[in-house]
Structure 1
């Protein structure tokens, strides 16, 4: 039989019983081990699933607890806030809102050079000078100093304030300057000079606030003259050296007036023969600097400038601020507040050393004062009267005049006093219309506003000052700091929206202790808020308030609020939340941003 037949029939070889039992036991053992392993794996899996469920449950509980806690806290905070709000008066709510707005607009970089800001350079001590008060003044007690300040209504703030001095001679001013002042019938210092000049002589940074016509120009020019004189006598200035100090002004007219005063005092010193000639430079737009090339070719001591032209001269290296240590800003609130702040920072970047900084104005609201305090070094604040208050030597007359009757009534008002008279209007076209009307009526009148050429502006100022013209019709450009002799009457044809502008405009009369009249036209076109500011200003100055103005009600009184002045513009008839000056600044800022976004804003 063939062996393959067995394979085809499914034959299996014989295995002994003992071997079969042993193989079966091994197989059973393997199955048992696998089953145990599977049971362990299953048990571990179940345990992990249970732990995951427990963790998820705990997470859900924590989340629910947290949400419930936050909700309760929010409800408690809301309830507490509601209780606090309910307990607050309308005045407190308004005050908090004002503080929030003030804090928002106060977050500005301090005035310092780019180098100082970048390197974190800070100065902690004021500049030292060689000037000292006479020993008999130094020996006075602090009570005696306080008595003098109280006598002249001088308010001061700051550390280690230099003493007030009541006589120019005691300030150690050179005799030629004393004689020049006497020739102008200036025999004793005004209150701002009594405290301001000694503080500036001592090298202190200064914030000077005093009403219009109070002698602020002399208060900041004299210290610069003395500083320049001392530097020149130590070592004469050569070509390309200087200046020692710079005076910044917001308008060309004010810069020209200040320059003429400085030049006159410099000439008075040199004329004596015992003092060197100090060179001063007028740096404003609209004039050719070539005409003053001979000054630039000598040592330069004093620069009087407007910001734009000064930046141009510094950028072109016509002179440098390497030795400059005196910076004064006249009408400083305008310089810092309305569009000039970036220019001032730019000018600061050209300084390479610490300088003495002085800020002067008739209107210096709290916002600007706070900002200045941060930017100056141990400053002395000298305040004669409330910042933004009207000159008490000006009689303020407010008339209700319909718009169509203004021109005719203007002629009547011009009969009140002898010329010269200034007429102010906020609108450039109206300025031209008023001048044309007066000329047609046979009145010698000139006009000045920002759209006039520099030659036209200079002619208007010169002819009016000389008496060749009886009336000057002007926009706000002539209201800031300009000094005209013997102005008895100012007529405000259109009431400015900002009360600060009104204070500056009426301040063109009643200067240097003289009295004057300011007649203001108002009507239905004048905003109630402006009328309210005007009403409180008249009340503060003990002036007559006409019935139509007295009837203007203050909404803050109806709401139980306090009558606090606006910290932005100093107006007494409104708060910061509805300040026209702040609104105007915000409009300009938005317009500037739109111009930048659309590629506008040409030079």
Structure 2
């Protein structure tokens, strides 16, 4: 086929040319012209929309709840934002109201609220009991029974007669079924040999704490005994244990490995040694009167326990101990508390406050049965009383005077002496009375400095503090008691319960921060009904709060208050309201939130925790 014929056939087969009409209104199929660029954009938009709808359908097909969950999450997020905004506004409103209320409260009210919080925290401590009893929930409902009974004619007296006798000696008792007070040792059914021995030592009639405390202890009742220093508390808790031990020995003699019947726990070695010597003297007198021999073990640090091997050979009736060594002996099973039924803590408040609480709890865990528990001290603050009430079984509180009050037989003299003049003035004060004299300072270095100064001035003086060896401490006490030395310079270690005969004068070179320590220190004189003088140095270094405690203590005891102490004002008085003493230390010049004793305990606990965290070496 020729090329011209082919071109002609292509033209014939070509589509006919479109026919355009100029009248748009009559043409409904008219499509306006769209530029190429715009058409491309429209196609891209349609394609994108198609892909999105496909994804949405696929997601709905696979999990219809996803979209709903995302919607719900969005709703919750918005609700949360609205709530957070609302809570923030509410918190701001609460803060504004609190600020208004705080502004309306007095400083005294704020302090009282803070005190209540601290007391609640203290009260949350678990009671003193053995681990076995706490774990099994063992609770004793009735006190121990003993064979002792008061004479019939005393029991026949009316409660009114008993109340008059207690009032005469300013004895306050709390508790149920309180045994009657007894005014004579003979009526307490004490053996004649002991009565004669006590009379030879000048003990002929019971002191107030003995008058009521001995019948309570003889009856087997748990007891909290509070009385000023030098009032005869040691006899009140030792004599019942001695009689109980003698009775047990008479029933069935003890052999090696048996015992003890009871334990007396003391906070310091000096006090433990003094109590041990008293018990030894009384048990010896009892044995000489024909009664069974009662064996007593002294268990404290600084001594060789093998020297008392003869006591272990015969069986132990009584243990007088300090917490650390007693805990060690129990852990080594040198003896057990399987049949121990008498537990006494002397200076009980100090036992707990000096950081011994954990050791005391550990010691309690060795008891296997119910025991009679007695707590004695001159200063027993409300906090310790409440704590003890939880740990004892139907306890009886015997209180002679206010807990923490000073001995009224001591003349308290407070003098303002500048720090640099104290050493020189000390020599003048020593001229007030003949020796022996005790000088107290809480600073160990100051104790040594005072002793050295006095020795240079020709004064026969010894010193005692916690950093000295046991031999040095025992020598100092023996030399001072026998009169070989005229003056003893001591830290607080000698202020707790130690009994020195015929001390007429106590000088407090540095006023302690805690008023309790002051009460114990001045209590080394004016003992057993005798009078004494306590001279205290204060100056600008003495904390104002301590001065305020001292001021109130002098006022309570009817002592002369020097002008510079009168000028110390109590900030609580300006705020109005009643002024109450601190329940932790018994100080009358501050509340619990400002208590130096509580602050010291917290610092000690933090140091202990830090030491434990560092492995005990720091």
Give 3-state SS (helix, strand or coil) of 2:408's partner: coil
Q: What root-mean-square deviation, in Å, do the aligned CA atoms of Structure 1 and Structure 2 show? A: 2.6
2-side partners of 1:553 and 1:323: how far apart? Answer: 55
Report the structure number with the largest CA radius of gyration: 2
Residue 249 (structure 1) aligned with residue 250 (structure 2): no
- Residue aligned with 1:409, SS: helix
Q: 1:74 to 1:178 in 2, by over 3 A?
A: same
Residue 123 of structure 1: which of 129, 134, 140 is its match?
Answer: 140
Give the aligned partner of residue 541 of structure 2: 525
Contact kept, 8 Å, 1:320 with 1:350, in 2: the verdict is: yes
Residues 492 and 50 (structure 1), Cα distance of their counterparts in 2 relative to 1, 3 Å cut: closer
Q: TM-score, normalised by structure 2?
A: 0.86
Q: Between 54-63 and 485-494, report the one with greater CA deviation.
A: 54-63
CA apart distance, 1:534: 0.9
Cα distance between partner residues in 1 of 2:426 and 2:403:
31
Structure 1 residue 269, shift from structure 2 partner: 0.6
Q: Equivalent residue for 1:133? A: 150
Residues 121, 48 of structure 1: alpha-carbon distance in 2 compared, 3 angstrom cutoff: closer
Deviation at 1:59, TM superposition (A): 7.1
Unaligned 5+ segments in structure 1 are: 1-46
Give the CA deviation at 1:162.
1.3
Q: Which of 391, 405, 424 matches 1:408?
A: 424
1:443 equivalent in alignment to 2:459: yes
Q: Alpha-carbon deviation of 1:93?
A: 2.4
The aligned residue for residue 4 of structure 1 is none
Pair 1:143-2:160 in alignment: yes
Does the CA contact (< 8 Å) of 1:425 and 1:476 recur in 2? yes
Q: Distance in 1 between matches of 2:349 and 2:545?
A: 22
Choose the corresponding residue for 1:281, options 297, 322, 334.
297
**Hey, what does 1:198 align to over in structure 2?**
215
| Alignment match, 1:41 | none
Q: Deviations over 1:20-44 (max 9, x none)?
A: xxxxxxxxxxxxxxxxxxxxxxxxx
Shift of 1:122: 1.3
SS of the aligned residue for 1:297 comes to: helix
What whole-Å deviation, never above 9, does each CA across 1:102-139 have from its counterpart, x for those lacking one?
Answer: 11133211111111111111111111111111111111
Q: Matched residues in 2 for 1:421 and 1:139: separation?
A: 48
Report the CA distance between 1:362 and its aligned residue.
0.4
Give secondary structure in 1 for the equivalent of 2:355: coil
- Alpha-carbon separation, structure 2, partners of 1:372 and 1:438: 44
- The 8 Å contact of residues 245 and 303 in structure 1, kept in 2 or not, is answered as yes
Q: Distance in 1 between matches of 2:615 and 2:84?
A: 50
Gaps of 5+ in 2: 1-63
Change (3 A) 1:56 1:268: closer
User: Given the alignment, which residue of 297, 305, 310 partners 2:321?
Assistant: 305
The 1:456–1:81 alpha-carbon spacing in structure 2 relative to 1, beyond 3 Å, is: same
Confirm whether residue 316 of structure 1 aligns to residue 329 of structure 2.
Answer: no
CA contact (8 A) 1:592 1:601 kept: no
Corresponding residue for residue 559 of structure 2? 543
How is 1:55-94 mapped onto 2 (pairs within 5 angstroms)? 85=102, 88-94=105-111
1:226 correspondence with 2:235:
no
> 8 Å contact 1:333–1:364 — kept in the other structure?
yes
Q: Under a length normalisation based on structure 1, what TM-score does the superposition of the two structures give?
A: 0.88
Structure 2 counterparts to residues 291-370 of structure 1, below 5 A = 291-370=307-386
Alpha-carbon distance in 1 for matches of 2:175, 2:167: 16
Question: Helix, strand or coil for the counterpart of 2:439?
Answer: strand
The Cα shift of 1:244 comes to 0.3
The alpha carbon displacement at 1:54 in A equals: 11
Aligned residues: 561
